[in-house]
Structure 1
Amino acid sequence: MGLFDQIVGAINNPNQEGSDSQLSNILGTVQQLSGNLGGDFGATQAAMSILGGHVRSALQQKREESGSTGTQEIINQFAGTTPNPLAVTSLFSPSQIIDIVQSISEKTGFDVSQVQNLLPTLVPVILNLLKTGNNPQNPEQASNNVLNSFLDADGDGDVDVADVMGMAGRFLGG
């Protein structure tokens, strides 16, 4: 089952945190970022996909170091739709951030400063997508199927958060 299917499942499951309004807020944040960057939604989605791969690797490493509960704590602490530089630094070292910024800049056409300004918003947004699988009665519980699906993907390097955003727009009728 794909990541978007897991998110929709979470939205439809009263025992999970996901909701139409959460997905709508995430999509609205990404659309607003795109507008701030000259309206290039495709480039913003591409940046999210590239960043999604880095977030997956960082969360997989955190899971190896501190277990599923530690990974879930990062999601709970930093998921959102507002900029949070601590979300970025909690996942990535300074040298990783430089590499990520350069990679996104090269592949999207955004200049380095634009990408640096995007990261504190896009990282929490990606974490917020993953938070949809939380159990609202026990958010610390490490049984978040959306997060697990994201982390246990086939490793093909294709973390298409952009596809999730496109499907979210269609799902919400936008």
Structure 2
Amino acid sequence: MSLFDQILGAIENPNQQGSPDQLGSILGTVQQLAGQTGMDQQTSQMVMSMVGGYVRSALQDQQATQGSDAVQATVNQLSGTSADPQALSTLFSPAMQQQIATAIGDRTGLDPNLIQGILPTLVPVVLNVLQTGASTQGMATGNNPLLSLFLDSNQDGDVDIGDAMNLAAKFLN
């Protein structure tokens, strides 16, 4: 099952936290940020995909060292649709933040300083996407099939937040 299918499943399942309003808020934040920074849809999708990949790696590291419940707690605590420097600093050291901004800038042609400035918003947005799969009954990652799929390194590598966001935008329209 794809990441997008999991998001849709979470929206349709009353036992999961996802809702059309939550997804709309997430997409609205990304579209607003793209508009403010002059990114076209393809570039914003690429940026979201890359940020999603870095978040995935950071959460996988956290899962390996602290366990699945800690990952779900991080997602619950730090997800949102507004800038949250704590979310960024919790997952990435300042040096890693700079590396991420440079890598995204190199791939997209955007100024790394611009990327550095929007990372405090993009990281909570990615976490918010992951939170849509959380159970309304408990906090364990096992109760969040979306987060489990996102973190499962044995999947086919087709876990892409940017693609899922693009499909979600089409779904809501």
State the TM-score bracket (shorter-chain normalisation): over 0.9
Aligned to 1:144: 144
C-alpha spacing 1:98/1:156, structure 2 compared with 1 (3 Å): farther
Structure 1 contact 50–159 (Cα < 8 Å) conserved: no
Q: Residue type of the partner of 1:103?
A: A
For residues 64 and 154 of structure 2, the distance between their equivalents in structure 1, rounded to whole angstroms, comes to: 17
Aligned to 1:34, the other structure's residue is in SS state helix
Q: Which residue of 1 aligns with 2:34?
A: 34
Give the C-alpha shift of residue 157 in structure 1: 5.5
Preserved CA contact (<8 Å) 2:3 2:159: no
Residue in structure 1 matched with residue 22 of structure 2 by the alignment:
22
| TM-score, structure 1 as length reference | 0.94
The answer for the alignment partner of 2:54 in structure 1 is: 54
- Paired with 1:144 and 1:79, the residues of 2 have a C-alpha distance of 14
Contact 1:85 1:120 in 2 (8 A): yes
Counterpart of 1:130? 130
Runs of 4+ in 1 over 3 A off after TM superposition: 153-159
> 1:94 and 1:39, CA in 2 relative to 1: closer, same or farther beyond 3 A?
closer
1:78 counterpart letter in structure 2: L
Structure 2 distance, partners of 1:122, 1:89, is 13
Letter in 2 for 1:5: D
Residues 94-109 of structure 1 aligned to structure 2 (within 5 Å): 94-109=94-109
Q: Find the residue that maps to 2:45 and give its secondary structure.
A: helix
Gaps of 5+ in 2: none
Q: Give the Å deviation of 1:141.
A: 2.7
How many residues of Structure 1 are paired with residues of Structure 2 in the alignment? Answer: 172
Letter of the aligned partner of 1:79 in structure 2? S
Deviates more, 1:145-154 or 1:78-87: 145-154
Instruction: Show CA shifts across 1:113-133 (max 9, x none).
Output: 110111001000000000001
Asked if 2 retains the 8 angstrom alpha-carbon contact of 1:102 and 1:112, the reply is yes
1:159 Cα offset (Å): 4.0
Q: Work out the percentage of aligned pairs sharing the same amino acid.
A: 50
The corresponding residue for 2:171 is: 171
**1:13-69 superposed Cα distances (whole Å, 9 cap, x missing partner):** 000000000000001011001100124222111111111111111000000111000
Residue 40 of structure 1 aligns with an amino acid whose one-letter code is: D
Give structure 1 stretches of 5+ with no counterpart. none
Q: CA deviation at 1:137?
A: 3.0
User: Contact between 1:75 and 1:127, CA under 8 Å: does it hold in 2?
Assistant: yes
CA distance in 2 between counterparts of 1:154 and 1:53 reads: 15
TM-score for both structures, normalised by structure 2:
0.94
Q: What SS class does the counterpart of residue 67 from structure 2 fall into?
A: helix
